[in-house]
Amino acid sequence: MPSPATHLRAPLLWLLVPLMAGLIAAKLWPAPAFGLRPLVLLAALAALGAGWAALRPGRAAGLVWGANLCLSVALGGFVMLLVRHPDLHEQDSRPPREVTATMRVLQIFPAAPNARNLTGLGLISAAGDQDPELPGRRVYYSAIRRISVPPQRSGAYVIRGVLEPLPRGAAAAGFNDYLANLGIHQRLTRAHLVREAAPPGWFEAFCARAEDRLEGILRHGLEAQPQTTSIYLAMLLGEKAVLSADQQNAYMRSGTFHLFSVSGLHVAAIAGAIHLLFRLLRVPRRFAVIIGLVVLWLYVEITGGSSPAERSFLMIAFLSVYQTFRLPGNALAALVAAALVTVLLDPLQLFSTGFQMSYTVVIALVTMGRPLTEKWLAAWRPFALLPRPDWRWYHHRVDETGRILLNAGAACWTAFLASTPAGIGYFALLSPVSLLANLVIIPLSAVPLWAGFVSMIAGLAGLLPLSALSNAVAALIIVLMDWLLQHGTNLPGMWFNARFRAEWLAPVSLGLMTAVFLAGAAGRWAPRYGGYWPPAVTLALLVILGVKFGG
C-alpha cells in the first residue's frame, strides 16, 4: 500500500501562501500614500485575469492564471489586515496619562492567590471626550486587586488607570511582543476596576459556571496537594500552573512547557476520549463525529476559548470531517483548509508563536512523520526467520513493543526537527533533551489527561468516589513527570542557551522548515532527493550558521 505522502495534495495552498505573503507585507509596511483603493482595484483586475486565463488551454495560460491568482490574493491579504486593524502601524506619541473608560473583558490571566494585580486583555467600548480614538481598541490591563471589582469573563467594567504605549523595538521582547502580535499597542497599568457596567452574556456565564464546576471536580481529593493540583488544572482547563522557578526552568529546558496550556495535545486527547466513549456506546460513526465536535467545541469554550485551543479545534474538525465523510482530499489538505479559515477569521494569528509552531509541527507530522513511521515499521522484522504461526506470546510482545517505540520515535524525531527553530527563536533554548523528554513525557501526560476526562464525566454523573480515584491516579503520574524532568534537565548537555543572530530568523526558519517538509512529501522522500535527511541537514545548517550560544 503506498504511503500517504504519495497522495498529499493541497490546492488551497494557492490561496494560503499568497494570503500569508500579503499579511506579512501589511505587518511590515503601512498603507501607501495613495491609499488602499487602487490596490483593491488592482486585486480585482488580477482576479479577472486569473479567471480569463483559467478558461484558456496551454502552459502559458496556466502561468498567467497562477501569477494573477497569487497577485490578487496577496493584495487582498495586504488590504484586509490594514482595514481590519487600521491602528497597526500607529505610534502613540502621547505621554502616559490617566483615563477612565468602559472595557469589555476578553481574557483573564489566572493569578496566584497572593498576587497583587489582576491582569488580562480587554476591548475599550467607550472613553471620555479626551480620548476619541480609544473605542474599538484592545488593551492589556493590570488592575490592583485589593481596590478592584473581581472581573468575570466577558463582562464589561468601568476602569480607571494609567494608559501608556507598549515599548517598541528591542524593548518589545517577550510578553510585549506577544501583545503586539495580537494587535495590542497600549496597556492600562495601576488600574482600578471601579464597577461592573454590564454582566456577561448568558452563554459566557454558563461557560464560567461550567468551568467552576469542572474545577471543583478535578480538585476533589487533592486538597492537600496544591502544587500538583495546579499542574493538573493547567493540563485540563488551561489555567496557568503556579510553578516554582525550578519547575518552570525544567519544563522550559526540556521542551515540554506546552503541556500546561490548552493546545493541540490537550484538545486532541479530549477528542480521542470523546470518540472512544461514543464507540463504547455504539453511537453511529457520522452522528458521533457531529455530536463529538459539538461537545469538543463546548469544552474549548468552557476552558476559555483561547486561540491555541480554537486553532486546534479547527484542525481536528477538518480532519474528522474529511476522514469520516470520505470527502475528496487528504490530511494535508484538511490542515491547509483549517489554517486558511483561521487566518481569515483572525489575520493576526499568523504572527503568533503558537500558530507558527503548531502548524509547522502538525504539517511535519503529516508530511514526514507518517511515511517515516511506515518506512521504519517495514524494516522492523525481529523474527524474520521464524514463521509467524510459530511465534510464542513473547515474540508478539517484542514485535508490538518495537512497533510502538518506532511509531513514537518517528513522531518525536519529526516534531523535534520542526519545533527546534521555535525553541531557539522564541525561548532562547536549544534542548536536545526534548527529543527524549517528549518520547517519555507525552505518553505519560496522556494518563492524567484521560484520567481527568474520566474524573469530569464521573463528577458530572455524581460518582465522586470514581472522580477522586481518577484524580489520585493523575496526581501520581504528574508527580512522576515532575521528578523526571527536574532531575533530567540537571544533567550536562541537556540544554543550551541559544539565540538566532537576527530576530527575523525565527519565523523565517519555521517557514523554511515547513517548505522543506512539503518539498520532501512532494518528492515522496525519494533517495535521489536525499530521502528523509533534508530536514535534518537544514536544521543543522540553521544552527551552525544562524545561532549563537551562551548569554
Clarify whether residues 405 and 543 are in a common domain.
yes
Mean pLDDT across 158-187: 77
Q: How confident is the model at residue 3, as a pLDDT?
A: 43
The yes-or-no verdict on residue 6 having pLDDT over 80 is: no
Tell me if 358 sits within 8 A of 311, measured CB to CB: yes
Last residue of a domain, one of 179, 199, 219: 199
Task: Check which CATH number belongs to the domain holding 192 and give it.
Answer: 2.40.50
- Give the percent of the chain with pLDDT over 70: 92
Which pLDDT band, with edges at 50, 70 and 90, does 327 fall under?
low
- Whether residue 540 lies inside any domain: the answer is yes
Mean pLDDT across 492-509: 86
- Whether residue 228 lies inside any domain: the answer is no
Residue 517, φ and ψ in degrees, nearest 5 = -65, -45
Mean pLDDT across 226-234: 83
Which pLDDT band, with edges at 50, 70 and 90, does 231 fall under?
confident
Domain housing 420: 373-430+501-551
Residue that the C-alpha cell 512522576 belongs to: 480
Tell me if 289 sits within 8 A of 302, measured CB to CB: no
Clarify whether residues 9 and 117 are in a common domain.
no
Clarify whether residues 389 and 515 are in a common domain.
yes
Q: How confident is the model at residue 390, as a pLDDT?
A: 87
Q: How confident is the model at residue 328, as a pLDDT?
A: 62
Which pLDDT band, with edges at 50, 70 and 90, does 309 fall under?
confident
Last residue of a domain, one of 199, 221, 239: 199
Question: Environment class of residue 207 by beta-carbon count within 10 Å: exposed (0-12), middle (13-18) or buried (19+)?
Answer: buried
Clarify whether residues 142 and 44 are in a common domain.
no
- Whether residue 319 lies inside any domain: the answer is no
d(CA 44, CA 59): 23
Mean pLDDT across 191-216: 89
Total structural domains within the chain = 3
**243 compared with 455, residue with greater pLDDT:** 455
What average pLDDT does the chain have?
A: 86
Give residue-wise pLDDT tens across range 244-289: 666 667 777 777 666 655 456 677 778 888 888 888 888 888 888 8
Q: Which residues pair with 163 in a beta bridge?
A: 97, 188
Q: How confident is the model at residue 7, as a pLDDT?
A: 61
The two counts, helices (H) then strands (E), for the chain are 18, 8
Clarify whether residues 49 and 178 are in a common domain.
no
Give residue-wise pLDDT tens across range 16-48: 999 999 999 999 899 998 989 999 999 999 999
Clarify whether residues 59 and 116 are in a common domain.
no
Lowest mean pLDDT among 20-24, 167-171, 346-350, 467-471: 167-171
**323 compared with 373, residue with greater pLDDT:** 373
Q: According to the per-residue pLDDT averaged within each range, which of 17-21, 174-178, 387-391 is highest? A: 17-21
Report residue 371 CA to chain centroid gap: 24
d(CA 468, CA 449): 14
Clarify whether residues 396 and 529 are in a common domain.
yes
